[in-house]
């Protein structure tokens, strides 16, 4: 009899099965004492539905996924890990503190760093014929104050922005022009269309 068969025989032994069930039950009881039913008001239903579908597609439990995310956010808010790269929960929560405003239906609009900082709000730009972000708008300022840009004919951005970061906030715009910061003129470094 090999080791594998011996283990199988032990698993079939009624006493061992009882002990295993008892252990599983104790583990479940311990976990159950840590679980809490929570009702959260103010969650966007579309976002919740999309998130829960993604979690189910990954064969994950929604409660476990949310608990893990909350645990990660609490960890990220700890002052001792500011040096870690990437998106931090602290940045996300700082953005929630800002008022949300919309600016729309203009022919031409130029937006500089001072404009965004003075507004001190998360701004959604939409339905603007020609929206230009001036060269003094840094990526940090853009991330903090620009919520999104949508339904504009032309959006002009300084070349300091990574293209994919820009595309993550721009939707349904006819044309995106990325211009050289040094040139500060109308000469475009890169022009692309986005449907």
Given this model, what pLDDT does residue 82 score? 46
Q: Are residues 102 and 188 in the same domain?
A: yes
Q: Are residues 65 and 39 in the same domain?
A: yes
Given this model, what pLDDT does residue 84 score? 43
Q: Would residue 124 count as lying in a domain?
A: yes
Q: Are residues 85 and 111 in the same domain?
A: no
Q: Would residue 8 count as lying in a domain?
A: no
Q: Are residues 72 and 109 in the same domain?
A: no
Report the distance separating Cα 161 and Cα 158, nearest Å: 6
Series of mean pLDDT values for 10-residue runs along the chain (195 residues)? 53 57 61 74 83 82 80 60 46 61 94 95 95 93 92 93 84 92 53 52
The bridge status of strand 175-179 relative to strand 188-193 is: antiparallel
Number of domains the chain is built from: 2
Given this model, what pLDDT does residue 83 score? 43
Task: Give the number of other CB atoms < 10 A from CB of residue 145.
Answer: 22
Given this model, what pLDDT does residue 174 score? 93
Given this model, what pLDDT does residue 98 score? 73
Q: 75, 91, 107 — which closes off a domain?
A: 91
Q: Are residues 123 and 48 in the same domain?
A: no
Enclosing domain of residue 146? 98-193
Q: Are residues 87 and 102 in the same domain?
A: no
Q: Are residues 55 and 83 in the same domain?
A: yes
Q: Are residues 84 and 110 in the same domain?
A: no
Q: Are residues 86 and 107 in the same domain?
A: no
Q: Would residue 163 count as lying in a domain?
A: yes
Residue found by looking up tokens 């609009």 in the block:
109
Q: Would residue 119 count as lying in a domain?
A: yes
Report the distance separating Cα 78 and Cα 27, nearest Å: 30
Q: Are residues 110 and 184 in the same domain?
A: yes
Q: Would residue 10 count as lying in a domain?
A: no
Helix (H, G, I), strand (E, B) or coil at 103: strand
- Say what the pTM is: 0.49
Could you please report the per-residue DSSP string of 58-99?
TT--HHHHHHHHHHHHHHHTSGGGTT--S--HHHHHHHHTSE
Q: Are residues 72 and 106 in the same domain?
A: no
Q: 72, 91, 110 — which closes off a domain?
A: 91
List CB contacts of 173: < 8 A, sequence separation 6 or more. Answer: 149, 150, 151, 152, 153, 154, 155, 194
Query: What DSSP element (H or E) covers 16?
Result: helix 14-34
Q: Are residues 79 and 104 in the same domain?
A: no
Q: Would residue 180 count as lying in a domain?
A: yes
């Amino acid at each position: 009899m090999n080791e594998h068969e011996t283990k199988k025989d032990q698993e079939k032994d009624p006493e061992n099965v009882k002990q295993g069930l008892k252990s599983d039950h104790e583990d479940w009881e311990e976990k159950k004492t840590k679980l809490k039913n929570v009702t959260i008001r103010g969650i966007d239903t579309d976002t919740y539905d999309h998130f829960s579908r993604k979690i189910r597609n990954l064969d994950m439990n929604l409660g476990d996924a949310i608990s893990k995310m909350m645990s990660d956010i609490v960890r990220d808010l700890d002052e001792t890990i500011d040096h870690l790269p990437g998106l931090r929960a602290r940045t996300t929560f700082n953005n929630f503190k800002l008022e949300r405003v919309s600016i729309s239906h203009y022919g031409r609009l130029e937006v500089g760093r001072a404009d965004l900082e003075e507004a001190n709000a998360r701004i959604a730009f939409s339905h603007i014929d020609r929206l230009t972000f001036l060269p003094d708008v840094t990526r940090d300022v853009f991330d903090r104050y620009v919520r999104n840009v949508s339904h504009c004919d032309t959006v002009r951005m300084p070349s300091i922005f990574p293209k994919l970061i820009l595309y993550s906030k721009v939707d349904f715009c006819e044309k995106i022009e990325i211009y050289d910061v040094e040139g500060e003129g109308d000469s475009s470094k890169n022009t692309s269309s986005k449907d």
